[in-house]
């Protein structure tokens, strides 16, 4: 375990280097070319199922699943590379919900039988899961919207989760629910459960579908509870932190695309008889985009390379770094892309608006940047 | 060599030697604090030399230790961690020496490297002029050959530590009427001579780390030209290319030390309860982590010949981070920051506040750095 305290840490070592292996480079190139061709941000949602099937053929949902559960047994670096490329093309797919979040929750909070039963189906992508925690995908047991009580040998769930990520395409959800005594558990709920109503929501970022899930006396068998109680709290805290890291990877990809689009456009666009990319006012905006983007990319790659070795405290601090830097970079790059495209940057036809919406989406989920900063501040300033 | 063993060796040596008469040098000197104990810090350079800690990156054939980058970096980290003082000899050791090793004659290497390696001869850099700052190629200082020596006429400025140095390397125009990068020559010039006058420039902090250096027919030997006459621009740029070595990356250890001082002050005076200050301190820590990851990425790709984004953004990123830290430090100090203080922590933070305003100006201003990023990394047209 690496506990990385700022005042004592060895700051730079070659072992923490972020050079990609040949296999990782191949994965990245495959993803980049596949998504350049099949990215669906501007295609009708009716084709999303077919695209998911193709992603599954490529084995992407199996990347982080251990081989004993029919996965590829690769790590966070590979997952982050895929997320980066998906972010670049604004992919609309349940990958974040099902692979990054639901799988990670199973790996870190579920009991052995639930892992064995559920991971293989999620690894092939045959089944798609989502995760329901507190609003905005935050681990805050007191704020869980779904309540649970014993019902004979089984469980009874009530309450409404108002914004469920990819809730409409999901076959099942892992739902963190709270008991009257304040404790919590993790439950497996099929999308077709009796008493469950799913309502698709109208969203600004149409690449991130959401639904409301209303639980009205949803009854589960005893086996519907899937957590190992002592793992629930650290496991779901880790799930959110790791989710924030992979969201950061996705944001880096989006920011990179905003920069590439802006540079390409300003090189083409002529005013005053010359490409506007030759004006310093334009160059400096693009250069500042690159500074934020590449700093965030360095952080995401470096943290992904060591995330599996971090203890809980170091993990939270590291993921705060990725979260804050990447969220800031993406918002900045998306906003600059709109500006640098001039009038067309405000139109539906050009892509900056899609990134602008995705960047805003990403800053509201997984805990806002200010909450992550406060967590860092507490670890620096409030220690005994 | 094992890195852990090496780190222990450095740390042990520092504990043993940064003591007694040298104890007062802990965390002193360096940009913003160059007036601290200049004579004693030169003696410290010789102490370092006796321990074999100068020339770590140089080839063994030139008296160096030829250590891999990872160990050079480990040295810098342990050095700063132990409170090692700001180096007086860094311009000679990390800029001029690699240039002489790459482009100098064997005679120049024999003549100059031992003095640098021994911590006895100190160097300064004669590039900028009053009319040639960001536009370095606009220099007008002239040089010409006369009676078997080179003569220099003109003025250099912002010359760090000229008043503590024996030698200056000078970029001067040798082809009359030439413009831009053509017709320049790179000369090594002794400072102790009648044709040179050094005038200190008092800076915002009240101290004088920089100088104006006036050349009035100053002379140097025919053997003191590096590269061919007229080829000075290439030599000058090669020298700047050594600027991003291990010592630059090692500066992050200073940043960690400074941020820790801010944290300590905030905890001590109650600023740590202010929610906005908390956010800013967290941002500073997060930003420093970003710099660290970026530097690690630079190291991983150090062998790559192509200029890479992580390298091109680095100067802009660290200098702006550092400037923000200086502002944060003063805001955390509050009214107490008004007072010139003997307290080590307060003095250091005030130096950061003032001197970091220079960080975004020297070695390529913010604006020049953004041009470089746009033109080299993004291939945007000039």
Does B225 share its domain with B253?
no
Strand partners, A176: A186
Find where tokens 């991130």 sit: A208
The pLDDT score that the predictor gives to residue B305 is 64
Nearest to A11 by CA among B246, B49, B265, B66: B246
CB A124 within 8 A of CB A59: no
pLDDT for A1 equals 40
Partner A contacted by B193 (CB < 8 A): no
Enter the tokens of residue A383. Answer: 């220690």
Chain A: residue whose CA lies nearest to B382: A278
**Pairwise CB contact (< 8 Å): B317 & A291:** yes
- Interface check B370 vs A, CB under 8 A: yes
> Which residues span the domain enclosing B218?
123-230
pLDDT of amino acid B307:
74
**pLDDT tens track for B190-233:** 999 999 999 999 999 888 999 999 999 999 999 999 999 999 99
Distance in angstroms (rounded) separating the CA atoms of residues A149 and A220? 10
Instruction: Determine, yes or no, domain membership for B289.
Output: yes
The residue among A87, A42, A84, A82 whose CA lies nearest residue A359 is A87
The tokens for B194 are 């009648």
| Closest CB to B378 among A290, A321, A381 | A290
Q: What is the mean pLDDT of residues B363-367?
A: 93
* pLDDT band for position A2 (cuts 50, 70, 90): very low
- Whether A27 shows a pLDDT value over 50: the answer reads yes
B243 is catalytic: yes
The dihedral over CA atoms of A106, A109, A110, A112, expressed in degrees to the nearest 10, equals: 100
pLDDT at residue B247 greater than cutoff 70: no
Lowest average pLDDT, out of A15-19, B37-41, B202-206, goes to A15-19
Contact between chains at B70 and A277 (C-beta distance less than 8 A): no
**What tens digit of pLDDT does each residue of A253-277 get?**
999 999 999 999 999 999 999 999 9
Give the domain CATH number at B21: 1.10.540
- What is the nearest CA distance from B156 to chain A, expressed in angstroms? 28
Assign A75 a pLDDT band (cuts: 50, 70, 90): very high
Q: Given the structure tokens 């009580």, which residue do they identify?
A: A149
Residue A223 above 60 pLDDT?
A: yes
User: Cα(A205)–Cα(A168) distance, rounded to whole angstroms?
Assistant: 15
Structure tokens at B319: 């200098």
Whether B263 is in a domain gets the answer yes
Interface of A with B in 349-378 (CB under 8 A): 370, 372-378
d(CA A192, CA B249): 56
Co-location of B211 and B274 in the same domain: no
What's the pLDDT tens digit per position in B254-284? 899 999 999 999 999 999 999 999 999 999 9
CATH of the domain at B282: 1.20.140.10
- Same domain flag for B197 and B288: no
Q: Does A295 touch chain B (CB under 8 A)?
A: yes
Contact of B216 with B198, CB cutoff 8 Å: no
- Residue B78 falls inside a structural domain: yes
Q: Which residue of A has its CA nearest to B313?
A: A291
Do B260 and B361 belong to one domain?
Answer: yes
Last residue of a domain, one of B230, B262, B284: B230
Render pLDDT for B140-190 as a digit per residue (tens, 0 to 9). Answer: 999 999 999 999 999 999 999 999 999 999 999 999 999 999 999 999 999
The verdict on A10 touching B (C-beta cutoff 8 Å) is yes
Q: Is B239 part of any domain?
A: no
Residue in B243, B289, B367, B375 annotated catalytic: B243
Residue A14 has pLDDT above 80, yes or no: no
* Interface size, chain A vs chain B, as Cβ–Cβ contacts under 8 Å: 163
Quote the mean pLDDT of chain B.
Answer: 94
CA A155 – CA A381 distance, rounded (Å):
42
Beta pairing class for B123-126 and A154-165: unpaired
One domain, residues B257 and B356: yes
Q: To probe the interface with A, which of B374, B376, B379, B382 has the most A CB atoms within 10 Å? A: B374
The CATH number of whichever domain residue B157 belongs to comes to 2.40.110.10
Task: Out of A345-349, B73-77, B98-102, B363-367, pick the least confident.
Answer: B73-77
Instruction: Looking at the structure, tell me whether residues B322 and B352 fall in a common domain.
Output: yes
Q: Which of B61, B88, B115 is the last residue of a domain?
A: B88
Q: Least CB-CB distance to A11: which of B256, B300, B375?
A: B256
| Window A:82-121, CB contacts with B under 8 Å | none
- Clarify whether residues B249 and B335 are in a common domain: yes
> By the 8 A CB rule, do B84 and B10 touch?
no
Say what the pLDDT of residue B138 is: 96
Cα–Cα dist B76/A348, whole Å? 52
- Whether B292 and B363 map to the same domain: the answer is yes
Number of domains within chain B: 3
B324 belongs to a structural domain:
yes
**CA dihedral sign of residues A181, A187, A190, A191:** positive
Residue A13 three-state SS: coil
- Is the pLDDT score of B1 beyond 50? yes
C-alpha torsion A133→A136→A139→A145, nearest 10: -40
At B2 the pLDDT is 87
Percent of chain A with pLDDT over 70: 95
| Confidence category of residue A21, pLDDT binned at 50, 70, 90 | confident
Are A283 and B374 inside 8 Å of each other by CB? yes
Would residue B382 count as lying in a domain? Answer: no
Q: Which of A145-161 are b and which e, b meaning 16 or more Cβ less than 10 Å from the residue's Cβ?
A: bbebeeeeeebbbbbeb
- pTM across the whole model: 0.93
Nearest neighbour of B279 by CB, restricted to A7, A259, A373:
A373
Residue B130 shares a structural domain with residue B215 = yes
pLDDT value of residue B210: 93
Please choose, from the candidates A122, A126, A78, A72, the residue with its C-alpha nearest in 3D space to the C-alpha of residue A101: A122
Instruction: Decide if pLDDT at A13 tops 70.
Output: no
Domain membership of residue B276 (yes or no) is yes
Closest CA to B171 of B227, B113, B110: B227
ipTM of predicted complex = 0.93
> Which of B198, B230, B262 is a domain's end point?
B230
Query: Tokens 């021994």, residue?
Result: B118
pLDDT over 60 (residue B119):
yes
How far off is chain A from B379, nearest CA to CA, in Å?
A: 9
Identify whether B249 is part of a domain.
yes
First to last CA, chain A: 22
Check whether residue B248 and residue B373 sit in a common domain. Answer: yes
Query: Same domain, yes or no, for B191 and B216?
Result: yes
Quick check: A298 contacting B, CB < 8 Å?
yes
Chain position carrying tokens 């031992």: B114
Domain co-membership, B167 together with B84: no
Backbone φ, ψ for residue B247 (5° rounding)? -70, -35
Q: What is the pLDDT confidence band of residue B129, given thresholds at 50, 70 and 90?
A: very high
């Amino acid at each position: 375990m690496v506990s990385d305290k700022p005042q004592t840490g060895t700051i730079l070592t070659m072992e923490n280097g972020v050079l990609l292996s040949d296999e990782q480079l191949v994965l990245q190139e495959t993803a980049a070319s596949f998504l350049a061709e099949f990215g669906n941000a501007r295609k009708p949602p009716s084709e999303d199922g077919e695209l998911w099937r193709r992603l599954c053929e490529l084995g992407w949902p199996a990347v982080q699943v251990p081989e004993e559960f029919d996965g590829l047994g690769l790590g966070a670096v590979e997952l982050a590379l895929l997320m980066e490329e998906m972010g670049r093309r604004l992919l609309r797919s349940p990958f974040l919900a099902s692979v990054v979040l639901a799988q990670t929750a199973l790996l870190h909070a579920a009991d052995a039988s639930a892992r064995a039963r559920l991971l293989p189906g999620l690894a092939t992508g045959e089944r798609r899961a989502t995760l329901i925690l507190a609003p905005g995908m935050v681990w805050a047991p007191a704020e869980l919207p779904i309540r649970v009580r014993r019902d004979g040998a089984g469980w009874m769930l009530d309450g409404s989760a108002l914004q469920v990520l990819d809730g409409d395409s999901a076959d099942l959800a892992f739902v963190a629910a709270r008991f009257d005594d304040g404790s919590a558990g993790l439950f497996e709920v099929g999308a077709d459960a009796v008493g469950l109503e799913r309502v698709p929501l109208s969203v600004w970022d149409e690449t991130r579908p959401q639904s409301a899930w209303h639980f009205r006396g949803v009854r589960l068998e005893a086996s519907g509870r899937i957590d190992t109680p002592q793992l629930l709290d650290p496991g779901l805290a880790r799930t959110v932190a790791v989710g924030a890291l992979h969201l950061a990877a996705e944001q880096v990809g989006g920011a990179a695309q905003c920069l590439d689009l802006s540079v390409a456009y300003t090189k083409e666009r002529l005013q005053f008889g010359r490409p506007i990319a030759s004006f310093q006012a334009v160059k400096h905006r693009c250069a500042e985009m690159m500074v934020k983007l590449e700093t965030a990319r360095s952080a995401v790659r470096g943290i992904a390379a060591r995330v599996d070795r971090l203890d809980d405290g170091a993990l939270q601090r590291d993921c705060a770094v990725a979260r804050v830097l990447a969220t800031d970079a993406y918002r900045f790059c998306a906003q600059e892309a709109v500006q640098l495209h001039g009038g067309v940057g405000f139109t539906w036809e050009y892509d900056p608006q899609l990134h602008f919406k995705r960047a805003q989406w990403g800053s509201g989920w997984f805990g806002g940047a200010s909450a992550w900063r406060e967590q860092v501040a507490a670890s620096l300033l409030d220690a005994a | 060599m094992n890195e852990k063993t090496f780190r222990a060796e450095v740390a042990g040596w520092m504990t043993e030697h940064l003591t007694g008469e040298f104890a007062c040098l802990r965390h002193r000197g360096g940009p913003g604090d160059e007036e601290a104990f200049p004579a004693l810090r030169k003696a410290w350079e010789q102490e370092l030399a006796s321990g074999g800690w100068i020339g770590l990156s140089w080839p063994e054939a030139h008296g160096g230790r030829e250590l891999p980058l990872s160990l050079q970096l480990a040295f810098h980290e342990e050095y700063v961690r132990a409170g090692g003082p700001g180096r007086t000899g860094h311009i000679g050791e990390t800029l001029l020496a690699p240039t002489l090793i790459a482009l100098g004659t064997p005679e120049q290497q024999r003549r100059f490297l031992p003095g640098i390696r021994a911590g006895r001869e100190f160097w300064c850099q004669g590039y900028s002029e009053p009319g040639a700052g960001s536009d370095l190629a606009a220099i007008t200082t002239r040089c010409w050959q006369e009676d078997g020596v080179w003569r220099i006429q003109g003025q250099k400025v912002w010359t760090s530590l000229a008043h503590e140095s024996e030698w200056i390397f000078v970029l001067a125009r040798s082809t009359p009427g030439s413009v831009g990068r053509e017709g320049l020559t790179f000369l090594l010039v002794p400072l102790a001579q009648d044709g040179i006058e050094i005038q200190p420039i008092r800076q915002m902090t009240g101290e004088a780390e920089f100088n104006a250096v006036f050349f009035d027919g100053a002379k140097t030997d025919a053997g003191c030209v590096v590269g061919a006459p007229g080829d000075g621009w290439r030599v000058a740029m090669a020298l700047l290319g050594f600027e991003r070595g291990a010592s630059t990356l090692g500066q992050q250890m200073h940043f960690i030390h400074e941020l820790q001082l801010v944290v300590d002050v905030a905890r001590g005076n109650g600023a740590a309860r202010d929610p906005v200050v908390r956010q800013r301190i967290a941002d500073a820590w997060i930003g420093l982590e970003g710099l660290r990851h970026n530097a690690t990425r630079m190291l991983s790709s150090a062998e790559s010949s192509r200029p890479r984004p992580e390298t091109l953004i680095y100067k802009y990123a660290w200098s702006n981070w550092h400037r923000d830290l200086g502002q944060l430090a003063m805001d955390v100090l509050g009214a107490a920051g008004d007072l010139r203080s003997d307290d080590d922590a307060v003095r250091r933070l005030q130096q950061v506040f003032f001197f970091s305003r220079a960080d975004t100006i020297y070695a390529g201003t913010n604006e020049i750095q953004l041009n470089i990023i746009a033109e080299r990394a993004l291939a945007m047209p000039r």
